[in-house]
Amino acid sequence: MKKVGIIGGSGYTGGELIRLVIHHPALELEFVYSTTRAGKAVTSAHPDLLGSLDLDFTDKVNENIDLLFLCLGHGNSRAFLEKHSFSKETIIIDLGNDFRLNSDQEFGGRHFVYGLAELQRDRIEKATAIANPGCFATAIQLALLPLAKHSLIKDAVHINATTGSTGAGVGLSPTSHFSWRNNNLSWYKPFTHQHLGEIHQSLQQLNSPSALFFMPQRGDFTRGIFATAYTHFDGTLEEAKTLYKDYYASHPFTQVSDEEISLKSVVNTNFCFLHLHKHENTLLVTSAIDNLVKGASGQAIQNTNILMGWEENLGLQLKASIF
């Protein structure tokens, strides 16, 4: 059993990670670090864990822990690691955005590998530190990677993606409380969202730099991302389907559906479902993920399984709550 420490376990991502770790057959949760909740039961923040976990938050860390997951706000992982030293044997997986870009991947004698298995599983297998991808970035990249791999993105890509309220984090804000979010829809950060950097980086890695016009939206639901991306495509729909199915044949969590997809099919799972539609010379790719699982904590466990040499779906055989 590998012992796990979680830094920042009181939020949505940390809570989801706790749930996955305690049910993983090869992982043992040793501590959950929180300066604001130290001494309080983990169930005070995550009441659904009552009866499943008897553990208090702590403000102390075990610097020799086997696996360390950082579930901190963006920009805070680097600051935390500057104040705490961990064994060279400790594997660190950061769920924030501090180490995703190539220019930020060297830190404290560690090299953080970008943790998108469908792009570079071979590098993850050899990694000792992982920069987990962003939720929007995951959904969008999985929609585009097969086209990029074969240099078939010849024109601009237009992307629209709607995320649930958990994507904004557990902290209150004017656009996250119930009376504003319920029965409402709005866009934010048009064409400038912070996840564009890592998407561009991956497309350039495949020698397929592209213009991306990304419009993020806030949905009036709690979890999940439903994204559509369309661009010029000269091939037939059947050729596109073959391209995508061949690319993802060895990746268990990305599935290409011949039928139209909906968000509920992937919520509470680590799957990404894709669907292709052709209209004249335009290919529309629809991508659906759970922002807290495949877009965050589930992908962190998937990366853990890969670098440990375990089955990729170990502890991730989850059921969607489709109804």
Catalytic residues: 135
Specify the 3-state DSSP secondary structure of 313.
coil
Q: How far apart are CA 313 and CA 254, in angstroms?
A: 12
Encoded tokens for 51 = 């009866």
Place of tokens 């759970």: 290
Using CB atoms within 10 A of its CB, is residue 231 exposed (0-12), middle (13-18) or buried (19+)?
A: buried
Q: How far apart are CA 140 and CA 220, in angstroms?
A: 20
| CB-based contact 27:315 (threshold 8 Å) | yes
Number of H helices, E strands in the chain: 8, 15
Q: How far apart are CA 155 and CA 281, in angstroms?
A: 11
Q: How far apart are CA 292 and CA 69, in angstroms?
A: 14
Q: How far apart are CA 307 and CA 123, in angstroms?
A: 9
Q: How far apart are CA 107 and CA 105, in angstroms?
A: 6
DSSP H stretches of helix in the chain: 12-22, 76-83, 117-125, 135-149, 178-181, 196-205, 237-247, 298-308
Signed CA dihedral, 134, 138, 139, 143: sign only: positive
Sequence-ordered list of residues with C-beta below 8 angstroms from that of 223, at least 6 positions apart, any chain: 164, 165, 166, 267, 290, 291, 292
